[in-house]
Amino acid sequence: MPHKDAMNQLKMSQQQSIITLWQHGWSFRRIARELQLRRETVSKYVRQHEAEVSKPAKVPAGSTGVAEPEPAKVPAGILARSRSQCEPWRAALEQGWQAGLSAQRLYQDLVVGQQYAGSYDAVKRFVRRLSAQAERPFVRMEVEPGAEAQVDFGLGAWVLVDGKRKRPHLFRMVLSHSRKGYSEVVWRQTTESFIRCLENAFRFFGGVPKTLVIDNLRAAVTRADWFDPELNAKVAEFCRHYGTAMLPTRPAMPQHKGKIEAGVKFAQNNALKGRSFASLAEQNLFLTEWESGVADTRIHGTTRQQVGKVFNEVERRQLSPLPAGLFPVFEEAPRTVHQDGYIELQRAYYSVPPEYVGRQVWARWESRLVRVFNQRREVIAVHVRVEPGKFATDLNHVHSPYRRIIEHGQAYLLDRARLIGAHTGSWAEAMVQQRGPIGTRVLHGLLSLAQKHPVKALESAAEKALHHGTWRLRDLRDLLEQAGPAPQLDFLETHPLIRNLDTYRDCVPDCFASSTLNPEPATSL
């Protein structure tokens, strides 16, 4: 289907719009896109306009004058705007201007690289036209009560610390509907201090806004991205705890959070400028009194309403309710799963599913619990915290052939050692007391020795180990190897019912003859 401007003559208003935009320096493509026309149509009407402007004036009928007709006068400024000396170099100038180059630099580049012969003033005028075309007004966004709060940091007032002046960071949160604010100064912009400031603001307001608009603070944003930002894991957990959403602004775009930009300046200029404090606590106390005594009582310049009154009558009840408890203080760090299926955390050991052996996971711990996450931030293990040197084991994390051994525990292994013999059981009990947690593994080794050696030999080795106070399994193995097999003649030499062989030497001399000792090979009869 042909376009509408190909079928009909454009209305006079549309023609005038084309000419006006062209005179302001707009390209044919831009005019066509803005007015939803074809570029050829725009070009046609511009060319018609140029022809009409340059056409000579007609001599009135009946005139007797013989002078040559003079060309029609063009309104001042039209030709200057439409026929800039820089028009042939528009693409290069636009590219340089978008890259942030100054008019002086653009002029130099044209002269050196493009053999430009025009004036520097023409380049300046062209750049000003580009700037005027690019500037667009920002739309002021007003939101519903309780829907949004904006957050940012500035610099606080000076604080005297040990005779030296230090300047803290000023945290400020402003509710976008009522402009009710909360201010607090902190020494550092860490994730922990940022979270505590947010939490203090929620408690101060008595509720939680549905969204938080923040700058791309390093304490909160891991990767800045307008469409899909990546929040710090602890900050994301904080938002889930309070049921709010955090929306970082586009980098280097303060207009996206204009209310807090103005709010921080207001606190700095009205509350803190020209003041100094003896401590951080003193400055925070002053800010609390200033919020209620000054900031809440003012008539806001935009809304033309009293801030505190709008907050108390309209916005307070629209905030989401606070959760039952504060956000738990926790720490987290990456950990590599050992070959035995455990991670080490402050000298204690916690099991994880066997498929994560050798891989990196995230451990998060607080005063009572330890949570383990995979790289997708999914919980894979939860344990109660144990003392250093102890193991926290979830039987679901252990392969089935080993579960029976773990379920029995140390007491079961000691009972099995006592069944071997008294000395073995005593050695096992003493070894566990001396060796501590590693003794469980030694018990497994002791039971494996009982399957390879006679009970009497193991009892004898355990008795000697008890006597010498050795508690290592390799010492027990050495004692078993030193004992070797029992001599077969020990019983014959010591038994009282059997005489010495010398008694029978005279009775059976043939038994000891050389022929007996070295018999000849037998021959067949």
CATH of domain 331-398: 2.40.50
Amino acid in position 121: D
Return the closest-CA partner of residue 311 out of 151, 148, 172, 146: 146
Is pLDDT at 146 greater than 80 in this prediction? yes
Angle at which helices 120-134 and 90-98 cross, to 10°: 60
Residue with tokens 């608009």: 213
Nearest 10 degrees: CA dihedral of 77, 78, 84, 88?
A: 180
Q: Is the pLDDT of residue 491 over 60?
A: no
Instruction: Answer left, alpha or beta for residue 186, where phi above 0 means left and psi between -120 and 50 means alpha.
Output: beta
Exposed e or buried b for every residue in 365-396, given b needs 16+ CB within 10 A?
Answer: beeeebbbbbeeeeebbebebbeeeeebbeee
Q: Mean pLDDT, the chain, as a whole number?
A: 80
**Terminal C-alpha separation, the chain:** 129
DSSP H or E run through 22: helix 12-23
Q: Which CATH class is domain 148-318?
A: alpha beta
Residue 202 is predicted with a pLDDT of 95
Three-state DSSP state, 8: coil
Q: What is the pLDDT of residue 81?
A: 44
Average pLDDT over residues 419-440: 86
Among 6-15, 91-100, 262-271, name the one with the lowest average pLDDT.
6-15
Please give the biggest Cα pair distance in the chain. 183
Question: Does the pLDDT at position 244 exceed 80?
Answer: yes
pLDDT digits (tens, 9 = 90+) for 107-116: 888 888 877 8
Residue located via tokens 């009572």: 368
Residue 497 has pLDDT above 80, yes or no: no
Percent of all residues in the chain with a pLDDT value above 90, rounded to a whole number: 27
What's the pLDDT band for 100 if we cut at 50, 70, 90? Answer: confident
pLDDT in tens, 408-419: 577 888 888 898
Cα distance between residue 460 and residue 463, in whole Å: 5
Helix (H), strand (E) at residue 223: strand 221-223
| Residue 282 in this model has a pLDDT that exceeds 50 | yes
| CATH 2.40.50 residue spans of the chain | 331-398
- Distance CA(415)–CA(437), nearest Å, equals 17
Altogether, the residues listed in the chain come to a count of 525
User: What mean pLDDT is predicted for residues 3-20?
Assistant: 68
Chain segment 38-75, per-residue pLDDT in tens: 888 888 888 888 777 666 555 455 444 444 445 444 44
Give ranges for CATH 3.30.420.10 in the chain. 148-318
* pLDDT computed for residue 317 by the predictor: 92
Pairing of strands 331-336, 360-365: antiparallel
Residue 143's pLDDT is what?
Answer: 81
3-class DSSP string for 323-354 = CCCCCCCCEEEEEECCCCCEEEECCEEEECCH
d(CA 405, CA 384): 22
- The pTM of this model reads 0.47
Over range 357-368, report the average pLDDT. 87
